[in-house]
């Protein structure tokens, strides 16, 4: 299977079976920011998502890793009580090396949740993480992402990844 194709594909972060992830021994979940936990027009994470993530963080360690700049990540995540990483350079391994040195968790115990095949899924699959794709929260993308989406759509077509046809 292609390194761009997620192991699990669900509608959104609320559709993930976190109990199963914990039972299966996963120790850390990396959440992408833009179009995964928030949309690009939102300056600050909404209450529902903030509460959800803060509660989840009591059961399993979570972090937010975004390719966006520092101001965006800090402002958006200000009420989310977890470590946040800006300018993560996904799909390079930069963020994973940071996690490895900080938490010393093996890659096969880490989950990555994101909306992009070319960054989130490719990084996770290449390094042996559990990859979970979610639908992008909003149709609006950052400029830099718009080009990636074109390639993504070709891959999605080839591997029959269709919105609404989720799998676990
Ligand atoms: Mg994203």
- Give the distance (Å) from ligand 1 centre to CA of residue 134: 9
What are the residues whose beta carbons fall under 8 Å from the beta carbon of 3, sequence distance 6 or more?
A: 121, 122, 125, 126
Q: What is the pLDDT of residue 144?
A: 82
Residue 66: φ, ψ to 5°: -120, 150
**pLDDT grade, residue 35 (50/70/90)?**
very high
Residue with token string 């046809």: 165
What are the residues whose beta carbons fall under 8 Å from the beta carbon of 106, sequence distance 6 or more?
A: none
**pLDDT grade, residue 108 (50/70/90)?**
very high
Per the CB < 8 A criterion, the answer to whether 41 and 138 are in contact is yes
- Give the distance (Å) from ligand 1 centre to CA of residue 20: 24
- Give the distance (Å) from ligand 1 centre to CA of residue 68: 9
- Give the distance (Å) from ligand 1 centre to CA of residue 135: 10
- Give the distance (Å) from ligand 1 centre to CA of residue 35: 5
**pLDDT above 90 coverage of the chain, percent:** 94
- Give the distance (Å) from ligand 1 centre to CA of residue 19: 24
Residue 105 has pLDDT above 90, yes or no: yes
Q: Which residue segments constitute the domains of the chain, with CATH numbers given? A: 8-158 (3.40.50.1000)
Cα separation values, 55 from 4, 32, 90, 145, Å: 30, 18, 26, 30
- Give the distance (Å) from ligand 1 centre to CA of residue 115: 5
- Give the distance (Å) from ligand 1 centre to CA of residue 119: 8
Per the CB < 8 A criterion, the answer to whether 120 and 148 are in contact is no
- Give the distance (Å) from ligand 1 centre to CA of residue 120: 8
- Give the distance (Å) from ligand 1 centre to CA of residue 131: 14
**Statement: the pTM of the whole predicted model exceeds 0.95:** yes
Q: In what order do the strands lie in the sheet with 83-85?
A: 8-10, 130-134, 110-114, 28-31, 61-65, 83-85
**pLDDT grade, residue 143 (50/70/90)?**
confident
Per the CB < 8 A criterion, the answer to whether 119 and 148 are in contact is yes
Peptide bond into 97 cis (omega under 30): no
Average pLDDT, the chain: 96
């Amino acid at each position: 299977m292609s390194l761009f194709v997620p192991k699990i594909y669900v509608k959104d972060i609320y559709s993930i079976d976190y109990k199963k992830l914990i039972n299966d021994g996963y120790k850390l979940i990396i959440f992408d920011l833009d179009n995964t936990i928030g949309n690009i027009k939102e300056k600050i994470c909404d209450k529902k998502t903030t509460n959800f993530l803060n509660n989840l963080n009591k059961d399993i360690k979570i972090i937010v890793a975004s390719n966006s700049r520092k101001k965006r990540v800090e402002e958006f995540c200000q009420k989310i009580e977890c470590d946040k990483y800006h300018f993560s350079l996904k799909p390079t391994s930069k963020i994973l090396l940071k996690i490895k040195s900080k938490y010393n968790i093996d890659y096969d115990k880490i989950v990555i949740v994101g909306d992009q095949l070319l960054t989130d899924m490719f990084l996770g699959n290449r390094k042996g993480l559990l990859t979970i794709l979610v639908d992008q929260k909003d149709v609006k993308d950052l400029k830099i992402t718009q080009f990636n989406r074109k390639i993504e759509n070709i891959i999605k077509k080839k591997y029959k990844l269709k919105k609404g046809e989720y799998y676990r």
